[in-house]
Structure 1
């Protein structure tokens, strides 16, 4: 093995979370190296719409639990940090290009989804806005100058939230790279293979080419692949919520007439995803996204079926004229989703100097300024943010609801995917399907553990595998993790 120097802190992962932490530590005077492949092929950041939407992401399930409400509190505080964070990046990177690409967010309730999911989440968003005394306005989406959906998918009502904006994720990553270099940080191009250990202490990170990057402290922020690096701490890692990938597809298009909306346009979260959304970019292009498909392993390439679904939704629900748009770029990202849906943030208990910053699901980019400052503070001996204290990596499963509530959420979202896919069923079938889905999901939950219940999207993912199939990696991972905490 060859050595590539020794650093105070080595950050594994070059998505927005890892890059933000590396920059924050470097500008505080630490000797920092950041490890990651230049193409960031499995990252969520590169395919993200980069919506700074803490309220636009609110769901009924989020507001139903204390931990969900804590996550919202973190989102809200992080959103208020973006103006100062953007200024810091501009100064450190010597790049004054504006990160913000939109003016507010319009959340649309349209005729496509279901009452249980779309209307419920729309109402939850408005409830959260009122609770936080956040400025917003009830509007008629039909007054939007750009929006032009198919009449069968027209928007019925909307919430305009002026402070919910978006940033250019590609420019953000470029600025983070430049800022790290300009603050004397080191960028190591390569893929981390394993942690090099000596007892309970990590002494470095080994790359796939055999190079070892020495470290006093290691922060693992490698998104959906983060837990793959904990093989040296197998006994400890068994008590960390396992993670899956929320694989998503997005596109960048040039519209046929060159027009784009002024604001972010989105539906509430639905179908286990972040809702259909489009985001204007500073160069006049348009970002379109919607999908979130659970995958045990991260995906590098898009399935054509998922691309087809995304484009049809965009042309039906956003603008019929998008069939005349030109495809500039097809993007794939992998959101890191822990088994209970909540972040893994803090020191890996049982180790001397390994920290995790992952499992942020759809919130990593949005929360990145706060997470970076929190991690730097904690490494300096500071206390964890009160809303983050329960999200330590080694923990029992955090409940996302009762078993009955989680099962009902799974049923509602599965039926919602049918409506969004334009199925045609007679009136009695949704009730029949609900009954069968409810029984199926309850059987799956009971086969995994008598009391612990994974989030609804994981239940649905396991529906494709027979209960007795012991080779299902997701089922195996959940069963093993739950046994550790019995």
Structure 2
């Protein structure tokens, strides 16, 4: 790799920001382009839960736990990142499935503690409804998504990266199958490599180079309270709602960590969701709804990330996934190494785009 390696990163959400920061730190010349602002579109609407929780095979668990460790490394490099290992209290599965999850993940090395109603009340004393049985993982946490993304972008700029917000990428440009850069609303920009990390907009951009990204973009509604006194200590992954309190002291909630289905009337859904959240919290009489967000989650059709170079399109690297908050530091590190040095981390082996054509 030479310092002259020119890389365009399309997308200023947390995945694009992490890749751009790691590339700039390694000496590449980086341009970040996003048609919205710093933070992108999906990232500001994220629940921001960092975890390696239930429902995934061991290979994906290993990638997620590695990324949890990389969060600690990243926070040391950028002390301003608002990262908190606040722990997660979980009872959103039937008891038998919770037990199976605990047994499996404990065998894999995940720090799961079984708790009863009294113990759950000590962890989260302001819950009005406590489970008879729950799981607690002290090593789970949150990274406030917009502030973290802005910190990565600002430091990438300090390292020499260029950030172009409010600029739309209209097409990838190629000559004889070799990528030459991108066309944008502000003109053509040349590059040696382009990273597509534009979330829900990634498929349309990739299609301009004949690349098909099999992704879906389901919506998720999350309610945000006005800042309030501290009521929650960590993540609450309950059977009715998932909620947490942000660094700004807002309480946010969705029917799951991806958010609620907004339905035909998002305002009405938000009001009902907020009422349910308020009813779950002791001392919440003065809690007020401030706003709700509807995010469109970039989700590959098999549920797992797409990370790696696109076959048949030299110079195009794709990084699209739903679990962007959890995976951001590891994906940034691994993508930068692969782009600049050609070294693909073994943890990424299952997640290439080529799996969909096999």
Report the TM-score when normalising by structure 2. Answer: 0.87
Counterpart in the other structure of 1:445: none
Matches within 5 A, 1:91-240: 96=80, 99-101=82-84, 103-109=86-92, 117-119=93-95, 121-139=97-115, 140=117, 141-149=120-128, 154-189=130-165, 190-207=167-184, 209-234=185-210, 236-237=211-212, 240=213
2 CA distance for matches of 1:245 and 1:263? Answer: 28
2 CA distance for matches of 1:393 and 1:366? Answer: 20
- 1:340 counterpart SS class: coil
Q: How many residues are matched? A: 349
2 CA distance for matches of 1:280 and 1:294? Answer: 17
Match 2:309 to one of 347, 351, 356: 347
Counterpart in the other structure of 1:47: 45
Please say if 1:281 is aligned against 2:246.
yes
2:223–2:252 Cα contact (<8 Å) kept: yes
Distance 1:102 1:383, change over 3 A: closer
Matches within 5 A, 1:71-90: 71-90=60-79
Q: Larger RCO: Structure 1 or Structure 2 (Cα < 8 Å, ≥ 6 residues apart)? A: 2
1 CA distance for matches of 2:124 and 2:354? Answer: 49
1:302–1:332 Cα contact (<8 Å) kept: no
1 CA distance for matches of 2:15 and 2:153? Answer: 12
Structure with greater helix share of residues: 1
Distance 1:84 1:53, change over 3 A: same
Which deviations, in whole Å up to 9, do the C-alpha atoms of 1:160-185 show, x marking residues without a partner? 21111112112201201211111110
Please say if 1:381 is aligned against 2:341.
yes
1:255–1:324 Cα contact (<8 Å) kept: no
Q: CA RMSD in A?
A: 2.8
2:39–2:146 Cα contact (<8 Å) kept: no
2 CA distance for matches of 1:346 and 1:375? Answer: 7
2:126–2:231 Cα contact (<8 Å) kept: no
1:13–1:36 Cα contact (<8 Å) kept: yes
Distance 1:121 1:371, change over 3 A: farther
**Structure 1 stretches lacking a partner, 5+ long:** 1-5, 63-67, 91-95, 110-116, 269-274, 397-483
- 1:137 counterpart SS class: strand
Please tell me whether Structure 1 or Structure 2 has the larger radius of gyration of its CA atoms.
1
